[in-house]
Amino acid sequence: MPRRFGEIVSLGAAALLWASFYPGWGWLAWLALVPLLWALDGAGPRRGVVLGAMFGLAFFLLQFASLFSLWPLVGPVTLLAWGALSLFGALFLAVFGIVAGWRAHPLLWSGLWVLIEGARAAGPLGFTFGSIPASMAGSPFLPAAAMGGPWLLSLGVAWTAGCLARGFRRPRWLPWAAVGPLVLFALTWLAPQPRDAGTLTVALVQPNIPKEEQVDYSRLPEHVEIYRELLASIAPPVDLIVAPENALPWLLDEPEYLALFQVTARRLGAPVMVGTAEFRADRVYNTVLVLSPTGEVV
């Protein structure tokens, strides 16, 4: 394979895996690893580390691009966090590339992929962003996780991709690709089915206040008016009202603004969950207030 072509294929695989996390596009995860593994097949450890690192860096740069929403708050520090997290994630994929390039076998590839995802999620610096199970939200195979944990989903997807990638050179592997979805389907069928205990009507209040304005105390009255209009538009019957995690940061220090949510709870006869912040000395803690249907903080 031409050197540059392998790099392009790896970058394309990163884009496919990133796209699989969009709602309704989870099926792309079944195909995303195929180009990467095809490029790694027979590449050797030295070439493998390059392809794996390129895949990982491209994928995590895309995955963590949402950090730029913090730019109005922390400015250039966003670039530092974006680059550091992406490089950290790419290290794991570089290790994957070394081993996958050294030995081409679907069982090794799939097992190693699960091990890498598990290692990336472990420890105080661990994170699961970009793990295959997260792309399976809404998938018919999701209940299989109840039988074998989330990494079972990763194993099934990586096995299928490995068999397809290996099948380009060894066609005998192609039929084995069906084992992944078949096993997950069987486990989905065997998984305990939740009982329908009725319906819950939830009113979600989302004012879309820019992040840089949320911590501007001078604009608190303006934000309260936005919430007042949104809360007034909620009509019964409703079982729960939920505001964002950082709805009004100074809510605990402003009883007259808290009263707005208490009145809503009493008017609708339903509990209210509202996000705020708790200021202790020089630290700020996210917290959630729960108001009973009578307006009391519980």
Bridge partners of residue 297, in order along the sequence: 291
Q: Which amino acid is at 109?
A: W
Residue 297 domain-assigned (yes or no) = no
Q: Of 129, 131, 136, whose CA–CA distance to 116 is shortest? A: 131
Tokens coding 261: 């949510």
Q: Angle at CA 93, nearest 5°, toward 88 and 96?
A: 140
Instruction: Say if CB 10 and CB 51 are below 8 A apart.
Output: yes
What domain count does the chain have? 2
Q: Are residues 174 and 208 in the same domain?
A: no
**139 phi-psi bin (left φ>0, alpha ψ -120 to 50, beta other):** beta
Average pLDDT over every residue of 219-235: 85
Distance between CA 113 and CA 145 in Å, rounded? 17
Residue 196 domain-assigned (yes or no) = no
Q: Are residues 117 and 13 in the same domain?
A: yes
pLDDT band at residue 217 under the 50/70/90 scheme? low
The model's pTM is 0.79
pLDDT in tens, 99-153: 999 999 999 999 999 999 999 999 888 888 899 999 998 889 999 999 989 999 9
Instruction: Say if CB 210 and CB 222 are below 8 A apart.
Output: no
Q: Are residues 17 and 149 in the same domain?
A: yes
Distance between CA 222 and CA 204 in Å, rounded? 20
| Residue 192 pLDDT greater than 90, yes or no | no
Parent domain of 283: 202-291
| Residue 194 pLDDT greater than 70, yes or no | yes
